[in-house]
């Protein structure tokens, strides 16, 4: 359980996790300033959870001031519109909590790990909720990087399956050189790529949602056309109605 702290120029990174934990730790390493909070969006897959354990121990050694929180997802992959909206809702809640409850003044999204559809959805959500940056990690020697990671995998699973924190810590320390080489590659070996985003002003999103919900007649012709094309509104004769999909999306944006 994390504790809420007063705002002190705090920064958070929110990241889906897949089977390649180094993209998370390299992202923290390359941001260039202290990160107070790391929120890992994890499935219940054993290999993914083992990676989360490795990230936790690696960052504890290198950046002991970073608090790590695991947000468990209710599925291993997104297989429907409803699951995608549910993931979007979880991401929106986490972003709001980091701002409002944990008082983080800067929020970044690392979309290098996890499933592709999760990363795409999270990047788009970042625009709508005005995060401070979305980035991706690319390794210049992917084949060699993957070989190092797979050699490390059996020991990583051993660490995960250990029965106590003391035993896990011992395994990490005994293999620290190998783990650190994988988790924190030299900075010339990879690139942090900023994903171009054009955040929507909070006032615009709030105004648009209010018009859609309470007075669609006040929407501009251009807004109506776009919202119908994207399935948020439906046309019934001369009238516009919020679609079921649109209602669920609006719930995400207003925090329901």
pLDDT in tens, 227-252: 999 999 998 888 888 999 999 999 99
Average pLDDT, stretch 138-158? 90
40: helix, strand or coil: strand
CA distance 208 to 10: 30
pLDDT in tens, 153-165: 999 999 999 999 9
CA distance 256 to 254: 6
**Which domains occur in the chain, in start order?**
10-194 (3.40.50.10770), 202-254 (no CATH)
Sheet holding 67-72, edge to edge: 67-72, 37-42, 10-16, 104-110, 133-139, 190-194
CA distance 75 to 8: 35
* Per-state percent for the chain, helix, strand, coil, to nearest 5: 55, 20, 30
Mean pLDDT of the chain: 91
Taking 50 as the threshold, does the pLDDT of residue 208 lie above it?
Answer: yes
Taking 90 as the threshold, does the pLDDT of residue 3 lie above it?
Answer: no
Backbone phi, psi, residue 38, to 5° = -125, 120
10: helix, strand or coil: strand
pLDDT in tens, 36-61: 999 999 999 999 999 999 999 999 99
65: its two tokens: 């001031």
Average pLDDT, stretch 191-199? 90
Contact 34, 10 (CB under 8 A): no
Report the predicted TM-score, pTM, of the whole model to 2 decimal places.
0.91
Contact 152, 182 (CB under 8 A): yes
pLDDT of 8: 61
Q: CB-based contacts of 192: which residues, under 8 Å, 6+ apart?
A: 26, 27, 30, 31, 135, 136, 137
Residue 155: closest CA among 174, 135, 183: 174
- % of the chain with per-residue pLDDT over 90: 70
């Amino acid at each position: 359980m994390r504790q809420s702290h007063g705002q002190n120029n705090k920064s958070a990174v929110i990241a889906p996790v897949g089977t390649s934990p180094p993209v998370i730790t390299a992202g923290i390493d390359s941001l260039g300033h202290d990160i107070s909070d790391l929120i890992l969006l994890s499935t219940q897959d054993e290999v993914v959870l083992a990676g989360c354990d490795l990230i936790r121990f690696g960052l504890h050694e290198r950046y002991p001031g970073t608090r790590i929180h695991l947000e468990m997802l209710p599925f291993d992959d997104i297989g429907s519109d409803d699951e995608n909206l549910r993931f979007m809702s979880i991401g929106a809640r986490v972003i709001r909590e980091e701002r409002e409850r944990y008082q983080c003044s800067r929020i970044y999204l690392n979309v290098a790990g996890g499933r592709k559809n999760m990363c795409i959805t999270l990047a788009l959500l970042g625009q709508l909720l005005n995060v401070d940056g979305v980035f991706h990690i690319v390794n210049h020697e992917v084949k060699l990087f993957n070989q190092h990671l797979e050699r490390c995998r059996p020991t990583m699973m051993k660490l995960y399956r250990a029965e106590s924190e003391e035993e896990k810590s011992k395994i990490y320390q005994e293999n620290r050189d190998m783990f650190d080489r994988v988790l924190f590659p030299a900075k010339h070996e990879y690139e942090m790529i900023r994903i171009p985003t054009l955040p929507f002003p909070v006032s615009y999103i709030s105004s648009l949602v209010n018009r859609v919900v309470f007075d669609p007649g006040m929407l501009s012709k251009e807004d109506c056309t776009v919202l119908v094309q994207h399935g948020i509104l439906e046309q019934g004769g001369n009238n516009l109605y919020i679609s079921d999909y649109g209602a669920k999306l609006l719930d995400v944006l207003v925090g329901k």
